[in-house]
């Protein structure tokens, strides 16, 4: 691309122009154009086109190779780190951060024809996440309490685990993660009350910093009936402690 054509690049690039950019810049361009936030714990799948996930992996691999070079690791002759950049790129995009790049799992919602209005508890759901500060693992458990009403949509029990996994497999901050999960479930299920408790072990506390073994953190979100009704809240919390 000549210097001149760069200077005259219109602000609104066509997809043809965008195709010449590195894939992350292309995706970022669409996000900024749509005024859409793209923090570490945001899902950006709506802005990723077919084939671009593979391109993203290739770009992350190249940059990760640069990080290893900057760490002065001889990835050419060290057979252990030979393929590390590719492995890490794949792990980030396809596994541990896939909740950013993949759309929400498809769910079937059922109208509450039986008019169930009993407290329902799902959990413990295993949580695997990573902290946004250090990209260190966060491993924990989540319990979800739902108080449905006749207008609620019921989703299958396994679907709570899939939604939780989708929200958690992003770089996260535990307080924000539980709020995000609550917002998603509130919108999907539309219950009278929603309660979420998350208990997790933050590996950045073991591996680095204070090397504190007291690294368990517990967070909760209570909404609707769980906020107003202390006995419902007590019932939920007492059922949790029995499940331990």
Would you count residue 28 as binding Zn ion (CB under 5 A)?
Answer: no
Cβ 173 vs Cβ 152: under 8 Å: no
Would you count residue 134 as binding Zn ion (CB under 5 A)?
Answer: yes
Number of residues near Zn ion (by CB under 5 A): 4
Would you count residue 151 as binding Zn ion (CB under 5 A)?
Answer: no
Would you count residue 53 as binding Zn ion (CB under 5 A)?
Answer: no
C-alpha 90/C-alpha 82 separation (Å) is: 15
Cβ at position 129, least distance to Zn ion in Å: 11
Would you count residue 68 as binding Zn ion (CB under 5 A)?
Answer: no
Q: Which is nearer to Zn ion, 157 or 210 (CB)?
A: 210
Cβ 47 vs Cβ 26: under 8 Å: no
Would you count residue 133 as binding Zn ion (CB under 5 A)?
Answer: yes
Sheet with 120-131, side-by-side order of all strands: 171-172, 120-131, 137-147, 193-202, 216-224
Q: Which stretch binds Zn ion (CB under 5 A): 4-12, 30-38, 96-104, 133-141?
A: 133-141
Among residues 131, 138, 155, 195, the one that binds Zn ion under rule CB under 5 A: 131
C-alpha 39/C-alpha 29 separation (Å) is: 14
C-alpha 216/C-alpha 140 separation (Å) is: 9
Cβ at position 68, least distance to Zn ion in Å: 21
CA 31 to chain centroid, in Å, comes to 18
Give how far Cα 21 sits from Cα of 1, 11, 18, 27, 61, Å: 11, 14, 5, 10, 17
Q: Which is nearer to Zn ion, 112 or 129 (CB)?
A: 129
Which residue carries 């008019």 as its tokens?
A: 115
Q: Nearest to Zn ion by Cβ — which residue?
A: 204
Would you count residue 120 as binding Zn ion (CB under 5 A)?
Answer: no
Cβ at position 204, least distance to Zn ion in Å: 3
Instruction: List contacts with Zn ion (CB under 5 A).
Output: 131, 133-134, 204
């Amino acid at each position: 691309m000549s210097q001149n054509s760069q200077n005259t690049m219109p602000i609104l690039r066509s997809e043809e122009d965008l195709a010449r950019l590195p894939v992350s810049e292309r995706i970022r361009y669409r996000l900024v154009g749509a005024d859409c936030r793209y923090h570490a714990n945001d899902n950006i799948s709506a802005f990723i086109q077919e084939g671009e996930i593979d391109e993203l992996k290739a770009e992350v691999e190249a940059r990760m190779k640069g990080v290893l070079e900057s760490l002065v690791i001889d990835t050419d002759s060290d057979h252990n780190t030979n393929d590390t950049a590719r492995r890490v790129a794949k792990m980030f995009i396809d596994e541990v951060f896939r909740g950013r790049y993949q759309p929400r799992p498809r769910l079937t919602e059922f109208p509450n024809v039986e008019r169930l209005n009993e407290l329902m508890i799902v959990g413990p759901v295993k949580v695997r996440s990573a902290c946004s500060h250090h990209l260190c693992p966060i491993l924990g458990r989540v319990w979800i309490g739902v108080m449905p009403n006749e207008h609620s949509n019921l989703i299958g029990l396994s679907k709570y685990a899939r939604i939780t996994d989708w929200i958690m497999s992003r770089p996260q901050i535990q307080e924000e993660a539980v709020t995000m999960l609550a917002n998603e479930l509130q919108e999907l299920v539309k219950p009278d009350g929603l309660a979420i408790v998350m208990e997790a072990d933050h590996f950045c506390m073991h591996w680095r910093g204070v090397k504190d073994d007291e690294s368990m953190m517990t967070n909760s979100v209570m909404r609707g009936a769980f906020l107003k009704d202390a006995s419902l809240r007590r019932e939920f919390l007492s059922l949790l402690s029995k499940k331990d």
